[in-house]
Amino acid sequence: KVFVAGGPCRQQQTPSFHTSRPGSPPKPRAAGPRAPTPESYDVRLELDIARRTFRGDAVLGLAGPGPSRLVLDAADLTIERVACNGVPVEFVAHNEKLSVDLPASDRSRLEIRYAGASSEGLRIHDDHAFTGFDTRRWLPCDFAPGSRAPIRIAVASSRDWIGVGSGATDLG
């Protein structure tokens, strides 16, 4: 049995969940006040093979000025709770977006608990599961073509599967 966490990688072999065309530089951000930006993603997915569903816990490392609003892509995901630096915060999940008002901070840790079902982004089958390039369907994220950040993924399932992925590995 195999779980594959796919996606292109940066040249440094840091897993990247979304990139522009190979070899193209990231698009520059607009001038003016900068919204918080995800700099890292630490994700734990729990797969329910029989139901073809999953639950996720994501911790996003954010950099940028606050207080401000962060808007993430979250298509077909049910957002259960959001906390910033361990403190629950209000959020709005609507039209495939997750909006969170963040307190003032140059660096924040955003924790998101969510759930979803097998889809174009994460396909769950009896004998394998794999991610596609539609990350926003299995992880609340900045899905803009020029947005890149390292990601660590841990997967739990009721099956004894082998994990396969691209990028650097951290088995520790």
Residues 82-126 pLDDT 10s: 999 999 999 999 999 999 988 888 788 999 999 999 999 999 999
Give the per-residue pLDDT at 2: 43
Mean pLDDT of the 14-33 span:
43
Comparing 139 with 7, the larger pLDDT belongs to 139
Comparing 170 with 160, the larger pLDDT belongs to 160
Q: What pLDDT band is residue 172 in, cutting at 50, 70 and 90? A: low
What CA–CA distance (Å, rounded) separates 166 from 108? 27
Return the minimum-mean-pLDDT range out of 48-57, 65-74, 121-130. Answer: 65-74
Length of the chain: 172
Query: Both tokens of residue 102?
Result: 């963040």
Backbone angles phi, psi at 171, to 5 degrees: -95, 10
Q: What pLDDT band is residue 45 in, cutting at 50, 70 and 90? A: very high
pTM, two decimals, is: 0.78
Query: Both tokens of residue 94?
Result: 């609507």
Q: Is residue 169 within a helix (H) or strand (E), and if so which, with residue range?
A: none
Q: Is residue 30 within a helix (H) or strand (E), and if so which, with residue range?
A: none
From 105, 102, 70, 74, select the one nearest 88 (Cα to Cα): 102
Q: Is-contact 122 153, C-beta < 8 A? A: no
Q: What is the mean pLDDT of the chain?
A: 80
The distance between the two most distant Cα atoms of the chain, rounded to a whole number of Å, is: 49
